[in-house]
Amino acid sequence: MHTVLLLADVPAQTLPARSMMAFTLVTHIILVPLGVALPLITLIMHGYGLRHGDATALLLARRWSAVMAVQFAIGVVTGTVLSFEFGLLWPGMMGRWGDVFGLGFGVEGWGFFLEAVLIAVYLYGWRRLPARTHFLVALPLPFAALLGAFGIIAANSWMNTPRGFTLDAAGNPVDVDVRRAIFTPIFGPEYWHFVVAMFVTAGYVTAGVYAKGWLRGRRDRYHRLGFTVPFTFAAVFTPVQFVLGDSIARQVFHKQPVKFAAMEIVWKTNTHMPEYLLGRLHPDGTVSGGIKIPQLDSILAGFRPDTKVTGLTAVPASDRPTTAQATLVHWTFDIMVGIGSLLLLLALWYGVLWLWRRRLPVSPWFFRGAACAGVASVLAVECGWITTEVGRQPWIVYQNMRVAEAVTATRSASLWIMFALVIVVYVFVFGSFLVVLLKMRSRWRLADAKGGPRPPEETPQAELPETDTPYGPRSTGSRP
């Protein structure tokens, strides 16, 4: 009955607005790991190739830089749509709070612009700049990518733990302190948890391409190097991400106790709380299904079984997620943690064998796991964002503005039409992205079939498959 009353108070346009925003976020975030972390992985490979005079490494770096550019172009489209949606779908939030947290979006825009310039220079510089100059010019590229992430996470962390303002008699924010608005209590844990997640995901996604080739019998140095560098990169950061994930969960426990209650489907405030692996929360507070581990939730939250964990009923029903939303948040949180645990085991398998015998694992099961790790990492990132956003419901600005207050007044029928158009555009955009990647792969395989990678200065111009942007930096005396 309470659920029905709550739904009756929500404007009709809330569902299509939230659906559209969720769809664009879920699709855009597929591209984010490559946008944030692929520049760094590419430069690591590039630097290795220059230091060791390795034509294969330079070939891989060149090809990854092409993928990076295509991904960035697609990200421009999806990111632009998201920017418009904030203003079109949530004018109540942007109108009242834009002056407080809007600087984060400005920083993200500057980072995006700087990254675009640097990617263009990096692509143009292949064989057109001296090797060392070309590499040094590209060094700021990973920092520009991190700057963009800084801006967007600053805005999101403010929505979760808003501060840096006071409210006047009309409830409008005044006396804005930009520094406090950006560096909120949860900003640091959320930012580094996000960045390392991007590093891990991009590393596993890139390595997964070559793991698949390895399973199909392509055991040459090209596939070995293409797998080893990004997989090592991801494996190093996987245990770091585990520690950061525990840290941010503890921050949520202290700063957003109701969200933590949804993540762990805790109904009533109490000590000695059990941990449920999966399971479903019902409106009467009971949990069905899942695996119950006594006292573990209290131990994880405060390192002691007598740690008091706030339950959902600590606040009125109108101020907390519904039981369906809490179940969704709990499942996405558990899936994220479960995937992270499996990736940690995979990284340990790789790391122990490498440190012990200085070789790659030979088991096909390892490479099957590595081939699936990229998709699993993307799924974990998606689950993390769902946990963050749905767990905050019904607030769009935590404890200051509800989603229903921020939504547009546009008719729901018009929003559904807009949503359908967005889906059509995104199908076309991502379809084009896939087609371009497949064509690039076919062209590169054709080039490799003609004799494999050779230094650019030794390759006849007629045999270069990409005459506008060849593989390696120009060395002294090479052709322009």
Regarding beta strands 287-288 and 291-293, do their DSSP bridges make them parallel or antiparallel, or are they unpaired?
Answer: unpaired
Q: Are 174 and 165 in contact (CB under 8 A)?
A: yes
Q: Residue 219 corresponds to which tokens in the numbers above?
A: 């055991």
Asked if the structure places residue 431 within a domain, the reply is: yes
Give a yes or no: residue 299 inside a domain: no
Residue 282: inside a domain, yes or no?
no
pLDDT, residue 106, reads: 79
pTM of the model: 0.86
Q: What's the pLDDT at 11?
A: 83
CA-nearest of 143, 130, 140 to 50 is 130
- Full pLDDT tens readout for the chain, 480 residues: 333 334 446 788 889 999 999 999 888 888 888 888 999 999 999 999 888 888 889 989 999 998 988 888 888 888 888 888 888 899 888 888 888 887 777 787 788 888 888 988 888 888 788 888 889 988 999 998 888 888 888 888 988 889 888 888 887 888 888 888 889 888 888 999 999 999 999 999 999 999 998 888 888 888 899 999 999 999 999 999 989 988 898 889 988 999 999 999 999 999 999 988 988 999 988 888 889 999 998 898 888 888 899 999 999 998 999 999 999 999 999 999 999 999 999 999 998 988 888 788 888 999 999 999 999 999 999 999 999 999 999 999 998 889 989 888 888 889 999 999 999 999 998 998 899 888 888 888 887 776 554 444 444 433 333 433 344 444 443 333
Tell me whether residue 314 is in a domain.
no
CB within 8 Å of 30: residues ≥ 6 apart: 378
- Is 367 part of a structural domain of the chain? no
pLDDT for res 468: 37
Q: How far apart are alpha carbons 161 and 327 in whole angstroms?
A: 23
Is 92 part of any domain? yes
Residue 24 in domain: yes
Tell whether 254 is covered by a domain.
Answer: no
User: Quick one: CA dihedral 452, 454, 456, 458, positive or negative?
Assistant: negative
Q: What distance in Å separates the CA atoms of residue 320 and residue 402, rounded to the nearest whole number?
A: 11
Number of domains in the chain: 1
The residue segments making up the domain with residue 131 are 11-186+408-480
What is the pLDDT, as a whole number, of residue 463?
Answer: 37
pLDDT of residue 417: 93
